[in-house]
Amino acid sequence: MTALLWPAVAVAAGLGLLIWGADRFIHGAAATARNLGVRPMIIGLTVVGFGTSAPEILVSLIAAWQGNPGVAVGNALGSNIANIGLVMGGTALVVPLAVNSDTLRREYPLMFVVMLLALVLIMDGHLGRLDGAILLGALVFIGWRVVRLGLRREPDPLEAEFEHEIPTLGTTAAAAWTVAGLVVMVLGSRGLVWGAVEIARAMGISDLVIGLTIVAIGTSLPELAASIMSALKKEPDLALGNIIGSNIFNLLAVLGIPGLMAPAVLDPDALWRDYPVMLGLGVTLYAMAYGFRRPPRLERWHGAVLLAAFCGYLLALYLTAAPG
């Protein structure tokens, strides 16, 4: 147990720094963009969307750079599973969510396209530089598409929610918070990855499992806090938008970075156990939230089902991944 003490401290401290740094980074970057005259819709769809996924992106980058691609892959898939099961399920359990935004109805299909694209690229069991380049290229294309969407003048309830959430700061203060948040996130990522890898080695389990559990759940905490706060403020589109945007970023950036930096053979479990769970939860969320013949809405029982599915996945992961 002594061997796990300092790695556990590093993980806890790293997660704390990541959460605080991400909050300050988004705070400063969003205010900076506002001061530059960027529309709230574009700020919300790009700056805030990127910021909530910044912890996962930095952890993926550090893990790949240090030669631990399993942590990065597990973080990408595990964060998406946690975003839907834990974050969306927990949020809907606290506050039922009405889904009003046409923008989000367009983004659901995009999320599934990205999931299928990533699946096609890794079906051969290898995450290579070409795969990483395609995923990051798709991220650039989607970023361009999102900016075009944000420039449209049709009214969308999501824009008012973004307007309400973007802070007002002086340019110097906003820039300072942006830089400080980024530096703190880098430090937190280093500590988290080191601690997670050491725990995996001490417990005799794979980097993938650590990425799917400790790292993924920890880096999803900013999304959980943001979604619950948005729901409590009667901003349901923002809560769902955070999750959809984060899932897209996770597959394109968090999975693309290790492919580009550290090509590796994937653990077969990632393809045959974890990816189907992510897809299944995505389809379930779509069926629950889209509405079909009823007004689009996530009820409390929907949240309970998603949360139960997430807990069941963690239990199955524990039973199948435990050494011996």
What are 208-265's pLDDT values in tens digits?
A: 898 899 888 888 877 787 788 777 877 777 777 778 888 998 899 989 988 988 888 8
Q: Which 8-state DSSP code applies to residue 310?
A: H
113-128 in b/e form (b: 16+ CB < 10 A) is ebbebbeebbeeeebb
- How high is the pLDDT of residue 158? 63
- Spatial contact of 89 and 306, defined as CB atoms under 8 Å apart: yes
Kindly state the tokens that stand for 150: 């944000």
Confidence of residue 10 (pLDDT cuts 50, 70, 90): very high
Q: What is the CATH number of the domain that holds 193?
A: 1.20.1420.30
Confidence of residue 273 (pLDDT cuts 50, 70, 90): very high
Q: What is the DSSP string of 212-262?
A: IIIIHHHHHHHHHHHHHHHHHTT-HHHHHHHHHHHHHHIIIIITHHHHHHS
Closest of 107, 93, 59 to residue 79, by C-alpha: 59
C-alpha distance across the termini of the chain, in Å: 18
Residue with tokens 């509405």: 291
Confidence of residue 114 (pLDDT cuts 50, 70, 90): very high
- Spatial contact of 22 and 54, defined as CB atoms under 8 Å apart: yes
- How high is the pLDDT of residue 119? 94
**pTM for the whole structure:** 0.87
Q: Which 8-state DSSP code applies to residue 88?
A: I
Burial class from Cβ neighbours inside 10 Å (0-12, 13-18, 19+) for residue 88 reads buried
Q: Give me the mean pLDDT over the 307-324 stretch.
A: 85
98 forms beta bridges with 297
97 forms beta bridges with 298
Kindly state the tokens that stand for 167: 């802070």
Residue with tokens 């394109």: 252
- Structural domains counted in the chain: 1
Angle formed at CA 87 by CA 161 and CA 81, multiple of 5 degrees: 125
pLDDT at 101 exceeding the cut of 70: no
Q: Which 8-state DSSP code applies to residue 266?
A: P
Residue 146 lies in domain: 2-321
Return the higher-pLDDT residue of 218 and 321: 218
Q: Give me the mean pLDDT over the 1-8 stretch.
A: 78
Confidence of residue 180 (pLDDT cuts 50, 70, 90): very high
- Spatial contact of 14 and 192, defined as CB atoms under 8 Å apart: yes
